[in-house]
Structure 1
């Protein structure tokens, strides 16, 4: 015990002594700090003699900092993403695919406009030395993008529709390929790079004319609601076969160009064929076994993600080393992935957002920098561009249309297929950039081909609209029904429950159309299929229980309001139902999209405001004026069909002033009258029905909160 006391006292004394020494040392440091501060203050005062010079030095240092590789690259990425988003949205507003805006944004950022109007700022933002970093990043993004494109190819569909689809696809490649090779005869001497043989140039021109943009075409098919039609299925199958064949031909051409001779090119092609065979016979079975293991998100660990993402990188490295191109290897890696929809969707979700939102815009910017429209002002180059455009449209459109007609399709479907196959878009840009990188295309011909890709993609929508008008036949409108538009499937279920009560007693054919739109047209086909399935499966189950024939409409959309309006206007729907909710910035449940839908359509409409409906046993109709009594029969029929009791809330004392007919109906149906102006009397109702005009005018009504499981049903009913 004494030893412990001595030990603690000794430790305390040593600690106190150490503290004294530290304090003394601190005094010395403090004095030194004061002296240093005095010197610094004196120096600052001296520098105040010329503050402008000080600011100039600071500004110069900051300006030099922007020219460092990393800050400059980050600035380029920010500018490119903002530009492509803005111009892409403008393209959607003009009813064009988003990719049109992205391509156009890339051209506008290049020397054709930005560099022409603001040369100094252009040189600061895109100096020539920085383009190598931009190109490497864009190539990484393209590797993953082509991997996703390869995964979207459904080889089973190719096998199932091999007869007509492959005939049309190969015809749509053969004719533009031949026309492109013939075109090369007239422009080879003036526009081909000096060290490129005619064979390489003509083959590449042929491939450039015969490409179809499968991803863009798939989105156009989805946006137009053609996915489940014969035309949509045929177009997707032809485009898939077209891309597969075109990429194989491209690999051969690249081998010929880069090998520098026929024998080295033959060796490269043999190595490529061996690699394709290896991927098909060895890697694909192994991938299929992996697909049986990683079937859900829980099993999809970070290690699994890393391995799967290394696969396209390794494949791209091998094909680049062979002498083909890295993008062909990434595309092939996607093709041999396991045919498990869940696995492919999970991978696409991991890869697609970053590659399309960040890396692809960089690719568009790089393409725009390489596209110099001003070069076409020399000589008769604009006439050469017109010839290139004519050959591209005539070859692709005519080849596809004639082959489709020869396969037994109608003229309308054949011409529509030709218009769809003429879409080039992003895939064309990828091929053109490969040609530019390996030196096959000069700056002039590259600019012409980029403009051709832009024009042919832009004209797809207007051409399809023109074909629709030309072949339009007057026909009876489809039978009346109810249209539901929903975002979450739980809301779709609630709307379908209400829709079941809107059919008059004795209705035999209860038809309901459910519309679900994904507010993003750039999702992959696999992801779109997943969203469509998860959205409609619960509704199909409920529709069978309710005895309702359910039709479904689904598509990714960049303008949800516009597409809902188009659907309402294109059908003979007597009722339109959708969900409403208070926004982040307002308590108005009719704000934004819903107000637009109500103002630009005249059909009967119902807006459901509810988190999730519970049991529907008690309905209450709010009656503020005589016009609300027009909803009495509507609400009574709805309550009866669903099996609920109806009460009437009379805050303004309108019931005594009703017509004798209405009072007799209230008495006959034993409808309870709720009095008093306090909306809290509605708290026991499962569903409150209110006229839209009343909701707009009686603002105190909005202060009332819904109980859990209950809902507010705002109705515009014209009989």
Structure 2
């Protein structure tokens, strides 16, 4: 069969599955991203590839897999750019409390993740990975937070402008920045053939970050002011942002750091003007959420075999992993929020939201597979952990606050409404 026909069939199957499961998730009062993650898993060896091996070999052959890989990673670069753009600015007044909340959401799960890595190292780490590299990686895997889900749930509950929300989003932003920096160090350690190559990669990475934040950022702020004055982002301006995104992904991939890291850092340097943020959401958000992200879920799901977990030697490690991931993040954040004066209900709600890992966790997991850090069985465990913790976010929030869950649109940074170029 011609490659184009194969790709079209695969895309139709992936997107249809994602939309159906997304709607099912909404009916069950979960964010649609939960259904889309499940759809990706069901298309893999857990279900579709297991029951229909011949059809799956034809539809998802090696060539089609390569196309899906490229498309999904391009979409992921756009997604990480937007996530970086949504990171809240850190003002000195709120930094202390948000920093402490972030620490309470990073340190306990990081230490628990590192601790269980000692238990999992012999059976679930790749042979060439050192115990220190595995320790750091597992710490990051349990520490990450899904900023888009945080923003979306808070928006739906009408809390986006509250101190409660500002503190939570700022803490989540700090959490993710720290986690991505640690992950970048892990990648450098894994990729380094010797001390010199490792140090050179780290120096190039630091240089890239400094250039983006101290050279590119001021220039982009001027650009953002022009967009704000014009009231819209022109096609030329959008092309510039896309070229910068591809350039950032190329540079970080070339120097030995995962491409999405460059897009995330570039997102931090993007203008914070209302019109620019709104235009970027309108012009890029929908195609990313509706088309590209389901491809990434499918790409991840095709490497996830949950059937491997249905044995005592795998189920017990998974339950320990899940327990540590929830206790570390939920427990740490809840106790700190209670300490600084919030009620137990509010503290528990924040703990539940910070415990959601979502797509951010899938990115970390895929990096682990790409760089040969984790085995397929641990990959499956972490994917299921990401799914469970993300699914628990809204029920924990609703139970804690005593509110009935609302149906949610696809989880993504909220749009800002304004007057567009055509007057809409």
Fold shared per TM-score above 0.5: yes
Shift of 1:393: 0.5
Corresponding residue for 1:126?
A: 60
Shift of 1:272: 1.0
- Which structure carries more strand by proportion? 1
Corresponding residue for 2:18?
A: 84
Q: Do 2:326 and 2:389's aligned partners in 1 also have CA atoms closer than 8 Å?
A: yes
Shift of 1:362: 0.5
Is the alpha carbon distance of 1:303 and 1:468 closer, same or farther for their aligned partners in structure 2, counting shifts above 3 Å? closer
Q: Per the alignment, in what secondary structure is the counterpart of residue 417 of structure 2?
A: helix
**For residues 144 and 128 of structure 1, what CA distance do their matches in structure 2 show?**
25
Q: Do 2:72 and 2:295's aligned partners in 1 also have CA atoms closer than 8 Å?
A: yes
Shift of 1:447: 0.1
Q: Per the alignment, in what secondary structure is the counterpart of residue 228 of structure 2?
A: coil
Is the alpha carbon distance of 1:521 and 1:132 closer, same or farther for their aligned partners in structure 2, counting shifts above 3 Å? closer
- TM-score between both structures, scaled by the size of structure 1: 0.56
Aligned residue among 337, 357, 371 for 1:404: 337
Q: Do 2:26 and 2:407's aligned partners in 1 also have CA atoms closer than 8 Å?
A: no
Task: Determine whether 1:352 maps to 2:285.
Answer: yes
Corresponding residue for 1:228?
A: 161
Corresponding residue for 1:218?
A: 151
Corresponding residue for 2:6?
A: 72
**For residues 162 and 321 of structure 1, what CA distance do their matches in structure 2 show?**
34
Corresponding residue for 1:636?
A: none
Is the alpha carbon distance of 1:518 and 1:192 closer, same or farther for their aligned partners in structure 2, counting shifts above 3 Å? closer
Corresponding residue for 1:334?
A: 267
Which protein has greater RCO, CA pairs closer than 8 Å, 6+ apart? Answer: 2
Q: Do 1:143 and 1:312's aligned partners in 2 also have CA atoms closer than 8 Å?
A: yes
Corresponding residue for 2:48?
A: 114
Shift of 1:379: 4.9
- TM-score between both structures, scaled by the size of structure 2: 0.93
Q: Do 2:188 and 2:198's aligned partners in 1 also have CA atoms closer than 8 Å?
A: yes
Is the alpha carbon distance of 1:299 and 1:446 closer, same or farther for their aligned partners in structure 2, counting shifts above 3 Å? closer
Corresponding residue for 1:463?
A: 396
- 1:280-359 equivalences under 5 Å are 280-295=213-228, 300-359=233-292
Corresponding residue for 1:524?
A: 413
Consecutive unaligned residues in structure 2, runs of 5 or more: none
Shift of 1:228: 2.8
Is the alpha carbon distance of 1:435 and 1:285 closer, same or farther for their aligned partners in structure 2, counting shifts above 3 Å? same
Corresponding residue for 2:307?
A: 374
Shift of 1:429: 0.6
Is the alpha carbon distance of 1:520 and 1:393 closer, same or farther for their aligned partners in structure 2, counting shifts above 3 Å? closer
Q: Per the alignment, in what secondary structure is the counterpart of residue 295 of structure 1?
A: helix
Root-mean-square deviation (Å): 2.2
Corresponding residue for 1:38?
A: none
Shift of 1:119: 1.7
**For residues 115 and 260 of structure 1, what CA distance do their matches in structure 2 show?**
37
Shift of 1:449: 0.4
| Structure with max Cα Rg | 1
Q: Do 2:26 and 2:408's aligned partners in 1 also have CA atoms closer than 8 Å?
A: no
Is the alpha carbon distance of 1:187 and 1:299 closer, same or farther for their aligned partners in structure 2, counting shifts above 3 Å? closer
Corresponding residue for 1:438?
A: 371
Aligned residue among 33, 44, 58 for 1:99: 33
Q: Do 2:86 and 2:413's aligned partners in 1 also have CA atoms closer than 8 Å?
A: yes
**For residues 83 and 262 of structure 1, what CA distance do their matches in structure 2 show?**
46
Shift of 1:384: 0.7
Q: Per the alignment, in what secondary structure is the counterpart of residue 302 of structure 2?
A: helix
**For residues 126 and 297 of structure 1, what CA distance do their matches in structure 2 show?**
46
**For residues 519 and 391 of structure 1, what CA distance do their matches in structure 2 show?**
28
Q: Do 2:149 and 2:412's aligned partners in 1 also have CA atoms closer than 8 Å?
A: no
Shift of 1:116: 1.7
Q: Do 1:106 and 1:366's aligned partners in 2 also have CA atoms closer than 8 Å?
A: yes
Corresponding residue for 1:205?
A: 138
Corresponding residue for 1:178?
A: 111
Residues 399-427 of structure 1 show CA distances to partners (whole Å, capped at 9, x for unaligned) of 11122223332222222111110011111
Q: Do 1:400 and 1:418's aligned partners in 2 also have CA atoms closer than 8 Å?
A: yes
Corresponding residue for 2:353?
A: 420
Q: Per the alignment, in what secondary structure is the counterpart of residue 155 of structure 1?
A: coil
Corresponding residue for 1:449?
A: 382
Q: Per the alignment, in what secondary structure is the counterpart of residue 244 of structure 2?
A: helix
**For residues 181 and 524 of structure 1, what CA distance do their matches in structure 2 show?**
30
Consecutive unaligned residues in structure 1, runs of 5 or more: 1-64, 473-516, 535-719
Q: Per the alignment, in what secondary structure is the counterpart of residue 138 of structure 1?
A: helix
Number of residue pairs the alignment of both structures matches: 419
Shift of 1:264: 2.4
Is the alpha carbon distance of 1:273 and 1:111 closer, same or farther for their aligned partners in structure 2, counting shifts above 3 Å? same
Residues 457-481 of structure 1 show CA distances to partners (whole Å, capped at 9, x for unaligned) of 1111222233234x99xxxxxxxxx
**For residues 465 and 303 of structure 1, what CA distance do their matches in structure 2 show?**
44
Q: Do 1:294 and 1:300's aligned partners in 2 also have CA atoms closer than 8 Å?
A: yes
